[in-house]
Chains A and B, each alone.
Chain A
Amino acid sequence: MIAFAIAGLTFTSCKKEEEETPTATASVGSVSINLEHKWEDEATNFTLNAEYIHPVTNDTLNFTTMKYYISNLKLKKSDGTWWTHPESYFLVDLENESSTKLMMSNVPVGTYTELSYTFGVDSTRNVSGAQTGALSIANNMFWSWNSGYIFLKAEGTSVNSSTGSYSFHLGGFTGTNSILSTKNVVFLSNSTDVVVTGNHESEIHMITFPDKLWNTSGSVSNTNTIHMPGAMAKMMANDFSNGIVFEHVHN
């Protein structure tokens, strides 16, 4: 009495996905965000495996890891509407120079006045199951026991730390411990609008200062490890993300 199998033969046809018709004048171009990393001021380049003195705490810090997520890039058109970059997740990893350039392709031609981006990974992707690409768990930026992405990892050695090293894993996407923040950059504030013409890359230049992490939180002699969401992670993440500055646009 087993309704074992119902074998049906279904013929389904589906339409080929609409192919873009090539036109004489390209309708899309590309825009990149170029992140430079500096220490304390714009004159000092920041790299891994080099010693820096912290301007506030005077700690001597030598980084072995510096990586963080930027996501959900959007560009505001001159008519006030927003263009949303699809699948917009970037893991900036100082071990990998090319990751400091966040590329958006297929941006419709036009003039853009503003950029919006999120520091971290939006809460939806923190609860939506196994992801791929920048969000792959193999990137080691995921907490397994308290599900969620680690938005920023800063690790290294310091004579000021009681253990000789430091390890800050900052994250948290819900409630009071959320460190997610969305930022807007108005291009005219400091430069010119982004003008996307076909077959061309417009560049947005920004600067990240890793030293900002300790501006309020203080010396690694007090705290050298954070591996979960909480008040101090929030303080460090806020100082860091608020410290990312817009430089200029290069069309």
Chain B
Amino acid sequence: MKLFRSMRLFFSFILVLLLFSCKKDNEIVPVDNFAFRKPSYFPEPHYTFQNNALTRSRFNLGRDLFYDTILSLDNSISCASCHSQTHGFSDHNVAFSAGVNGTLGVRNSPALANLAWYPSFMWDGGVNNIETFSVAPITNPLEMHETIFQVVGKLNANAAYRSKFKAAYDVDSITDQKMLQALGQYMAMLISDDSKYDKYRKGTYTFTADENEGYSLFQSKCASCHTEPLFTDFSFRNNGLDAVFADLGRGLITQEAADNGKFRVPSLRNIQITYPYMHDGRFFTLSQVLDHYSTGIQSSSTLDQSLTSGIPLTADEKLKIIAFLKTLTDYTFMANPDLSEPVH
């Protein structure tokens, strides 16, 4: 029952059998209209599946790829190695992730949720599209260390993938475009909207007194950057971690000194589960994060204006904000069988 309930909460299935008398070249006719569901209080999504109409078989293919080590140089790691469902699709509570041969990356693996609403990806916003996104981890020497050309070759040499791509995209030969589009579909369907906070928004949960006070404090002290309901406004800001920047962040992308030390405001969905925190995973607990905002802000030329004197918080207020942050944990999402590693 629980399984069906969560499935129902996540997807609404409408199976429509369409019979066409003719077919447009290349464009496969979706036989199952498997739907993208926008929660009513979410804004319009950024990714709209344009030229990549959502279907069950394409989503399933994207999921297969996400969990398959075939995307890495030595078939040792998959996307899921660093983005684990039970950890809110972040890494297993480590600051830096191990790529092929165990080489460590330089930034913390972010939690993945509601990516269809993201206008840009990465801590520095360097990637502009969910479809082209996967090129970055596949080709990064510190991550999967492969080439797109090689991956496409490996997939084409695999009969099971050939038939899955044929079924999903009606192609006889697998191309990088279709591989990236399938991965894009899976990622765009990582929708987290069943936390206590969401139930509160839907009117099916009442906050406890602490959660409610924490919510008010959050709205007045944090929401200017961590804006509801996605808990980010997607802007790039310096929240005062360092006076001298080891990682220039957004400045690496724009080449503007005014962007040095700025990072995209991260979403706080599933934040209780996805420690350690910040782009370099420096804080292991939420109370360390709140101590940072109240007494640890480091001054620098790009520090966000609103943080110049920190965010004054009493010990009690910190506890209440943490109580609220824990309402963002979505166990339905982290246990949703539709998003889990497929059993073959």
Contacts and interface: CB of A to CB of B under 8 A. Distances in A.
A124 to B, nearest CB: 12
A145 B136 contact: yes
Interface string B145-173: 00111001000000000000000000000
A17 B22 CA distance: 9
Contact of B253 (A3, A14, A16, A146): A146
A49 interface: no
Contacts of A147: 126-129, 132
A11 B131 CA distance: 32
Interface string B133-149: 00110111000000111
A5 B15 contact: yes
B45 to A, nearest CB: 14
A192 B139 CA distance: 48
Interface residues of B, number: 46
Interface string A177-219: 1000000000000000000000000000000000000000000
A10 B127 contact: no
Contacts of B302: none
Contact of B14 (A6, A140, A229, A230): A6
Contacts of A138: 148-149, 152, 175-176
B33 to A, nearest CB: 9
Contact of B22 (A4, A16, A127, A144): A16
Interface residues of A, number: 38
A142 interface: yes
Interface string A122-153: 00001111111000111010101111100000
Contacts of A132: 175, 177
Contact of B13 (A4, A12, A142, A148): A4
A24 interface: no
Interface in A229-251: 229-230
A17 B149 contact: no
B246 interface: no
B127 A145 contact: yes
Nearest to A142: B135
Interface of B: 4, 8, 12-22, 24-25, 50-52, 122, 126-132, 135-136, 138-140, 147-149, 152, 175-178, 180-181, 184, 252-255
26 contacts: A2-B4, A3-B12, A5-B13, A5-B14, A7-B15, A8-B16, A9-B19, A10-B17, A12-B19, A14-B20, A16-B22, A129-B51, A129-B130, A129-B132, A129-B184, A130-B132, A130-B181, A136-B177, A138-B176, A140-B147, A142-B132, A144-B132, A144-B136, A145-B122, A146-B126, A147-B132
